[in-house]
Structure 1
Amino acid sequence: MTKVLQSENSPSGYPLSDYEISWIASAICLAAMFGVSLFTYIVDKYGRRVAVLLIAAFQALSWILKLSSAHIVVLITARLLAGLGAGGCYNVVPMYVREISQDDIRGVLGSFIILFQNIGTMAMFAMGAYLSYYTILWIIVWVPVLTMILMVKAPESPAFLVKRGKNDEAAKTIAFLRRLDVNDKRIQKEIDFMKNEELTYNSLPKISFKSIYQNKAWLRGCMLNIILMTIRSNSGNLAVLNYAPTIMKSAGVTWNPELQTLSFPAVMILASFISMSCVEKFGRKPLIIISFGVAVVSHIILATTMLVQHQGSSTPGWLPVIAIVTFFAVYAGGISPMPYIIMTEMFNFQIRAKVMGGLVTHAWFMSFVELLSFTAIADFLGTYSVVYIYAGLNLVGVIVSVIFLPETKGKTSEQIENDLVKKK
């Protein structure tokens, strides 16, 4: 898409500048910051199903706007609408999937969220290599439209129905989802569990930011997660994905860059599967340390290749490709999922909801900074300089994880809090 918009035959009527492209790329992250708070309210007030419908509506409207015009203002507006939906997507969809799933398949269904995200990324790269700008838009616009049509018939989350006192309706929904008779004892047992969980949550004392600041373990946990989320969002993934053809060209790759970038999401899909099998076997800490470490090496190789190319020398065309593919493998397998897993395990039920909203908003803000600053820094210092900066940030991730990060696998929140207090 970027290459088309910056070409002489740009649908915008003129080749868009790097500055305009940076705003188009980063606008989605800017809006997502507000989308987190918006959908936190909607999902609690109006339900999970309504929230998913609105997310799909924002996405559909975004693609319709792109079909109507390729003017820079329209494109940025479309990305802002998509960002509002994206801000809610990573909160609402996992919540909805978790609450309609039975325990023995909940983890598998939850993992499909990132898997389908990677499949969607690969589909976009594939279409970008072979199809025209407007053909892609006409195909993609039907995805949120079909989602809206299907969600009209989808059931509301049983947990939300219980929260609203609609126990009979919740029982019917569980019976439908589990293919059980509505009078089955297992359904009543599940309803009772949801009611007790709601009572437990309502009985907890209200947590303020002041109380978090005064609790040494909570404060350290927050600071550690802020650092991890900052590095995750500035590890280089969004910049490399959005500017992949430009980076490949800077590294001296002469083959079709769009076709070459198809390997990135394919590797991410494979890495997601591998990560699912390794995270419980080896733990969170070793996996994130190795991922950050490999990312450092990959970025140094990529940046050095760019620097050599910039100075007029040549390097093997496969070298930057291997570096980028390796980075995306460790990003999808470790850098991307591990901070979220650690975040949910590090904080107890009492403060989890309050802290996670702020951390997710911070992650979107840092992604916005990464995308907006990439072009400016690349134009001023060179693309290779930006990639060296990403290498440095990932190195910070290695150091912080080795020294300060406790292992969270198989531990209670109390044990993790004790480990945080012991860390110097």
Structure 2
Amino acid sequence: MKISLSSVNREYVVQYFATISGAFAILSSGINLGWTSPFLPKLLASNSTIPTTNNEGSWCAIAPLIGAPPGAIIAAILVDKIGRKNTTLFMAPWVTFCFIGIAFSRTIWEIFGFRFIIGSVEGALYTVLPMYIGEISDPKIRGFLTATIAIAAITGTLFINVIGSMCNIFVSSLICSLIPLIHMIAFSLVPESPYYYIKKGNFEAAKKSLQTLRGKKDVDQEMDLLAQSVVRQERTSGQAGILDLLTISSNRRACCIFIMVCLTNKFSGKNPCMFYTETIFKEAGSSIDATISVIVYCSVELIAVTIATCFVVDRFGKRKLLITSAAGCGLSVFALSVYFFLKDFQVNTEYIFFLPITALVMYNIMFSIGLSFGMVTVLSELFPTNVKAKALCIADTFSVIMGSLVSKIFQISFDEIGSMSYPFLFFSICSFAGLIFIVKYMPETKGKTLEEIQQLLIGQEQCSSTEMSVRQMTYVNDSFN
């Protein structure tokens, strides 16, 4: 029994380290996204040292989302040229520079610019990291490993809310500038993805990478399967272009599934809840301190995501969790809508003062167990090697456009109508609409290899190594010799 346990530890330890050190970069993204929650109210205050209007504040809030598409495009170009690992490492110094820049900023537009650049890095990271983690992971733990990105993002948001409640912009920004440096040191120690080496025809390096990741020398069988998988995907479409995402049925189905999950994620109201958490609590008139409410809100989300990823996702599968998550989010934001409708009509809400924080916490829990990592999972699993970089670039761009859109919808509707009831009702309707699509179209990928998932999308039976064509086997074997 001890030998078996030791074997399992050796098999997974490098995968865990590589994933955690990679996801550590996402801490900075979580910090950047959650930055407005503690600091935007201070910037909007009458005694602010950096005078800011509501409109300027809203643009500052969505700066990371606007910046993401350029970063995603850069990563899509680099990831197949210099590799998944080097592309990730290339991003770290930029984040350090930008946090130092925020510390010394004197206008809101300077802060906007630096947050825009960090957003570009985030776009790059969300293009390359799901690809890297999906490619290095054993199918038995891939669900957990891909979900660590969500854990890191939430940890970053919680971190900035905690230090933001104690420190000013200058001190907190200097502290945050150290995080990318820690990531860079740790991630420089991990191996490159074996898929990248196979794609480049370097089978020997791919085998060494796989041996390091699996913690054992005997990886010939898995190496053969990986090589066959990459060769099949590369030879199916050759040098794939963007149009292959639409013209090939399996890619088209993967795109539709991603769009469905992405729209449900964004239009459930996550970004407005994150950007304007403290504002929501103040508008609700809660007797609980707004800053404490935000910290509780983020802490619950972190705990929920951690529990879901460690004990639930690889046991129950992602499809069931997405269904539960979408339904729970719909009910939670509907409860918020009801509360603000009652408040609008001057109904006494003294006896339900707890409802805003309760509904938001429940929303966070429900979002965390499925929708929080649903997009990353789809991106890391559903697209074949030959179009993965392009697919992740376009997907990340689409995601941030939708995030920006829903955030501006929230800000404009709140400013024009003066009530949060209608935006939350809209989010509730969107959540339930997404639930219907997920139930109907989302496949279950639990326990399947990336190649088996491709066969599922193609519409064939799951194939084993004996079902591969002799032509592909000959090609791979010749490459080793």
Q: TM-score, normalised by structure 2?
A: 0.75
Partner of 2:342: 308
> Aligned partners of 2:87, 2:93: CA distance in 1, in Å?
10
Larger displacement relative to structure 2 (315-324 or 333-342)? 333-342
Deviation at 1:370, TM superposition (A): 1.9
Contact 1:163–1:198 (Cα < 8 Å) also in 2 = yes
1:169-188 alignment to 2 at 5 Å? 184=217, 186=218
1:10 equivalenced with 2:43 (yes/no): no
Q: Counterpart of 1:273?
A: 306
The counterpart of 2:155, out of the listed 100, 119, 123, is 119
Alpha-carbon shift at residue 43 of structure 1 (Å): 1.8
Q: Distance in 2 between matches of 1:7 and 1:387?
A: 25
Displacement, 1:193? 5.5
Offset of residue 112 of structure 1? 2.6
Q: Which amino acid aligns with 1:389?
A: F
The CA deviation at 1:391 is 1.2
Corresponding position of 1:242:
275
Give unpaired runs (5+ residues) of structure 1: 420-424
Q: Is the 1:285–1:405 contact (alpha carbons within 8 Å) kept by the matching residues of 2?
A: no
Q: How does 1:18-417 map to 2 (within 5 A)?
A: 18-99=54-135, 107-152=143-188, 155-164=191-200, 184=217, 186=218, 195-206=227-238, 213=246, 219=252, 222-276=255-309, 277-312=311-346, 313-315=348-350, 316-342=352-378, 354-381=390-417, 382-402=419-439, 404-409=440-445, 412-416=453-457
For residues 422 and 83 of structure 2, the distance between their equivalents in structure 1, rounded to whole angstroms, comes to 46
CA distance in 1, matches of 2:264, 2:208: 45
* AA aligned opposite 2:57: I
**C-alpha displacement of 1:280:** 4.6
Answer yes or no: is the 8 Å Cα contact 2:80–2:389 preserved in 1.
no
Q: What is the alpha-carbon distance in structure 2 between the residues aligned to residue 262 and residue 337 of structure 1?
A: 21
Task: Judge conservation of contact 2:76–2:389 (CA < 8 Å) in 1.
Answer: no
Distance 1:39-1:215 versus aligned 2 partners, 3 A rule: closer
Residue 6 (structure 1) shift:
1.4
Question: Take 1:102 and 1:219, find their aligned partners in 2: how far apart are those partners?
Answer: 26
Query: Paired residues, what number?
Result: 412
Cα deviations by residue, 1:28-80 (Å, 9 ceiling, x for unpaired) = 11111221121111121122332122221221122111012131221111011
Aligned-pair identity in percent equals 23
Matched with 1:422 is none
Following TM superposition, by how much is the alpha carbon of 1:175 offset from its aligned partner in structure 2, in angstroms? 6.1
Q: Distance in 1 between matches of 2:413 and 2:108?
A: 22
Structure 2 unaligned spans of 5+: 1-38, 461-481
**Matching residue's letter, 1:49:** K
Shift of 1:4: 1.7
8 Å contact kept, 2:134–2:381 = no
Q: 2:329–2:363: 8 Å Cα contact kept in structure 1? A: yes
Residue deviations 1:296-343 (CA, integer Å, cap 9, x gap): 221121122223334443343211111000011111111222344356
Paired residue for 2:25?
Answer: none
Q: What is the TM-score with the length of structure 1 in the denominator?
A: 0.84
2:260–2:438 CA contact under 8 A, matched in 1: no
- The residue identity in structure 2 corresponding to 1:73 is W
Q: Deviations 1:225-260 (Å, cap 9, x if unpaired)?
A: 323312212211111111111101111212211111
Contact 1:26 1:369 in 2 (8 A): no
**Residues 391/70 of structure 1: CA separation in 2 closer, same or farther (3 Å cut):** farther
RMSD (CA atoms): 3.2
Instruction: Determine the C-alpha separation between the residues in 1 that align with 2:244 and 2:193.
Output: 32
Residues 284 and 19 of structure 1, relative CA distance in 2, 3 Å threshold: same
Question: Are the equivalent residues in 2 in contact too, given 1:35–1:85 (CA < 8 A)?
Answer: yes
One-letter amino acid matched to 2:261: L
3-state DSSP of counterpart to 2:124: helix
Q: CA deviation at 1:283?
A: 4.2
Relative distance call for 1:280 and 1:252 in structure 2 (3 A) is same
Cα gap change, 1:397 to 1:191, in 2 (>3 Å): closer
Q: Could you tell me how far apart the structure 1 residues matched to 2:257 and 2:206 are?
A: 39
| 8 Å CA contact 2:60, 2:112 repeated in 1 | yes
Task: Tell me which moved more, 342-351 or 114-123.
Answer: 342-351
Q: Is the 8 A contact 1:43 1:92 kept in 2?
A: yes
Kept in 1, the 8 Å contact 2:325–2:366? The answer is yes
Q: Which amino acid in structure 2 is aligned with residue 265 of structure 1?
A: C
CA distance in 1: counterparts of 2:293 and 2:391, whole angstroms: 39
Counterpart of 1:70 in 2: which secondary structure? coil
Answer with 201-210 or 261-270: which moved more: 201-210
The answer on whether the counterparts of 1:27 and 1:76 sit within 8 Å (CA) in structure 2 is yes
Moved more, 206-215 or 250-259: 206-215
Alignment check: 8 A CA contact 1:128 1:258 kept: no
Cα deviation 1:190-228 (Å, max 9, x = unaligned): 666655444334322245566655566654553443233
1:387 Cα offset (Å): 1.4
Q: CA deviation at 1:373?
A: 3.0
Q: Distance in 1 between matches of 2:367 and 2:332?
A: 11
Structure 1 residues 341-350 or 246-255, which shifts more? 341-350
* Alpha-carbon offset, residue 101 of structure 1: 5.6
Cα distance, 1:265 vs structure 2 = 2.1
Q: Closer, same or farther in 2 for the Cα pair 1:371/1:170, shift >3 Å? A: same
